Amino acid sequence: MDDIRTITADEKQMANAIRALAMDAVQKANSGHPGLPMGMADVATVLFNRFITLDPKAPDWPDRDRFVLSAGHGSMLQYGIHHLIGYDDMPMSELEAFRQLGSRTAGHPEYGHAGGIETTTGPLGQGIATAVGMALAERMMAARFGKALVDHFTYVIAGDGCLMEGISHEAIDLAGHLKLSRLIVLWDDNHISIDGDTGLATSTDQIRRFKAAGWHTQRVDGYDHEAIADAIGKARRMGRPSLIACKTVIGYGAPNLQGSEKTHGAPLGADEVEAARRQLGWSYAPFEIPQDIYDAWSGVGRRGAEARKQWSERHAASRRARAFDAAVAGDVPPAISRALSAFRKQHVAEKTKVATRKASQMALEVINDKTQLTVGGSADLTGSNLTLTKGMTSVAPGRFKGSYIHYGVREHGMAAAMNGLALHGGFIPYGGTFLVFTDYARGAMRLSALMGQRVIYVMTHDSIGLGEDGPTHQPIEHLAMLRATPNLNLFRPGDIIETAEAWELAVHSTNRPSVLALSRQGLPMLREAHSSANLSAKGAYLLRGPKGKRDVTLLATGSEVEIAVTAAETLATQHGIGATVVSMPCWELFEAQDEAYQAEVLGEAPRIAIEAAARLGWDRWIGPGGAFIGMTSFGASAPAGGLYRHFNITSEAIVAATLERVS
């Protein structure tokens, strides 16, 4: 069979090496999960030994196969294999430091800790959903650059838990629909999770479930190497994604504990480890691997190096190599900043009044016109999020030339797929939904931030300003939650100019995700003059200063900046009070400024903050003696103007709060 690679002498012992390393590392750390690595060692051995194409000496080679351990608790499976196949950054000392501070071998695989860890897993279901994005990226890159440069698989090991998680439904459905033929999921079908038999909580027939979503499905005995190889070989030839249910025994090899949830997440204990060694016929000391086993495993890297060499030759001969390299590098063309600056200049001159969601689409037109890196999409709200721009075509089942994804009503799946697109390389994914449904996407958004991925969330309908749809759709606590998330930039632009600036910053933010919180309702252009510098880059800036002394500082974001500007005008004309308006589109960027700049912006006068959202977090900027004007409850269903009055988020309220503090 063309797919089947060299079969080395003792694949059973190669698998036992994984088991031994997992038992020993968990035992030494006195913490961790031996059950999955022991149960899936044979499946993983066949997968790596006979199929996976990667080069441990060049972990980032773009045409490598991607491996995702969705059941991230089984991390020792991945670390053990990485050690055995010779990744330089996974020496035995790393396995001995499993789960210790500063080691590469964290409790769950963490992207960036070591070569070959393609994504962070641990929150169950994320891996399989992220892999959908990787497999999609592979197909899209192949459509653009051809099979000679892009021709790889995405393999996933998922557990019962991954398949129980809701996100798996979104992921499976999307992958089946799009016919992601290079996605192969190996399910650790051990019928055990933490509480015990999975029958305690599920009776789903997974095979039928995957079939219903359009997948090819197979069942194999997880210890029959030839059957596993046949199944993987067959899966690779399918024109749709493939599930292989691997019947396994959790903790396989531990004579008294295998098959029990007791092996899931606790050390086996010294006696059981000894007994397992005897049962498996593994006579070596802890962390000792005999040379012949290393030799057997070294075939993986040799095969990968050869494949990479052949790829390099094709790359050298390819007309598309330069464009391919540029895509993989992900560098944003300088023309984008120039064009966005011209865009800002024009709209300052024209005083363009639009909703920031519309401004976002207008800025995106400029960006998408200048680069192929951006891949857009929406969770079934394209016409509301305004994420589609002229000339974009949709990706469709089996057709991957387009650059727009209809993610369907699958916010969480969309966010995870965007992580996969970003991690794979070649793309800057952006995707839209309503800001309130950040809650639904949250698990994957958190991983975008943890992994430092350039993923852009276009979150429209960002406050009570959306009006009639009511409190179910009006975000209140979401801005606070996003601001509390480390390594994430939340932009809430106040007009078309700040929206264009936010987009410029987001596409250049190579090591963190951005969320753009955008209004449904129209907002006036607020700049008095064009500036060639991106003023939002400092996070907050003086938008309007009083002619004379500053008596009060009004801090606002998004749609409430306009209200602050109106209040400042009233304070000046009717009360002779000098108000400075500070627009704060991005707290995180403001936090990164030096103290002198922050002090200059915040000033010495009393501060009043205005934001149609929860107060949480604002007090650090308000300081003592100030006030907050915003939401203290859920919103309500009514036209937007009436809601602002109802909830007292008005220029009159700002004036009154000022007069209480300044006389």
| Number of residues located near Mg ion, criterion CB under 5 A | 5
115, 86 contact by CB (below 8 A)? no
Applying CB under 6 A, does 250 fall inside the site for ligand TPP?
yes
Distance of CA 418 to the CA centre of its chain: 6
Using the minimum distance from each CB to ligand TPP, give the nearer residue, 109 or 585.
109
Choice from 8, 27, 190, 521 touching Mg ion (CB under 5 A): 190
For residue 596 the two structure tokens come to: 């002198």
Applying CB under 6 A, does 192 fall inside the site for ligand TPP?
yes
Count other C-beta atoms under 10 Å from residue 608's C-beta: 26
Choice from 160, 411, 560, 562 touching ligand TPP (CB under 6 A): 160
* In 371-477, alpha helices (H): 382-385, 411-424, 438-451
**What is the β-pairing status of strands 456-460 and 154-158?**
unpaired
Beta bridge partners of 220: 246
Choice from 116, 161, 413, 630 touching ligand TPP (CB under 6 A): 161
What is the distance between the alpha carbons of residues 423 and 608, in angstroms, rounded to a whole number?
41
Using the minimum distance from each CB to Mg ion, give the nearer residue, 202 or 487.
202
Question: Rounded to the nearest whole angstrom, what is the least distance from the CB of residue 160 to Mg ion in the complex?
Answer: 4
Beta bridge partners of 250: none
Using the minimum distance from each CB to ligand TPP, give the nearer residue, 266 or 638.
266
Beta bridge partners of 457: 431, 515
Q: How many CA atoms lie within 13 A of 621 on its CB side?
A: 28
311, 304 contact by CB (below 8 A)? no
The window from 158-166, 178-186, 492-500, 599-607 that contacts ligand TPP (CB under 6 A) reads 158-166
Using the minimum distance from each CB to ligand TPP, give the nearer residue, 40 or 518.
40
Choice from 66, 82, 144, 264 touching ligand TPP (CB under 6 A): 264
Choice from 193, 258, 514, 534 touching ligand TPP (CB under 6 A): 193
81, 107 contact by CB (below 8 A)? no
The partner in contact with residue 264, picked from Mg ion, ligand TPP, none with C-beta cut-offs of 5 to 8 angstroms by kind, is ligand TPP
Amino acid at 394: S
Applying CB under 5 A, does 160 fall inside the site for Mg ion?
yes
What is the distance between the alpha carbons of residues 310 and 304, in angstroms, rounded to a whole number?
10
Applying CB under 5 A, does 261 fall inside the site for Mg ion?
no
The partner in contact with residue 35, picked from Mg ion, ligand TPP, none with C-beta cut-offs of 5 to 8 angstroms by kind, is ligand TPP
Choice from 36, 422, 571, 612 touching ligand TPP (CB under 6 A): 36
| Of 110, 170, 272, 411, catalytic | 411
211, 151 contact by CB (below 8 A)? no
Question: Rounded to the nearest whole angstrom, what is the least distance from the CB of residue 293 to ligand TPP in the complex?
Answer: 24
Amino acid at 318: S
411 assigned to active site: yes
Applying CB under 6 A, does 194 fall inside the site for ligand TPP?
yes
Choice from 56, 159, 413, 494 touching ligand TPP (CB under 6 A): 159
What is the distance between the alpha carbons of residues 309 and 340, in angstroms, rounded to a whole number?
41
The partner in contact with residue 539, picked from ligand TPP, Mg ion, none with C-beta cut-offs of 5 to 8 angstroms by kind, is none
Q: How many CA atoms lie within 13 A of 86 on its CB side?
A: 19
Choice from 45, 130, 168, 190 touching ligand TPP (CB under 6 A): 190
For residue 223 the two structure tokens come to: 């210890």
What is the distance between the alpha carbons of residues 453 and 470, in angstroms, rounded to a whole number?
33
Where do contacts with ligand TPP occur on this chain (CB under 6 A)?
A: 35-36, 71, 73, 122-124, 159-162, 165, 188, 190, 192-194, 250, 264
Where do contacts with Mg ion occur on this chain (CB under 5 A)?
A: 159-160, 190, 192-193
Catalytic residues: 411
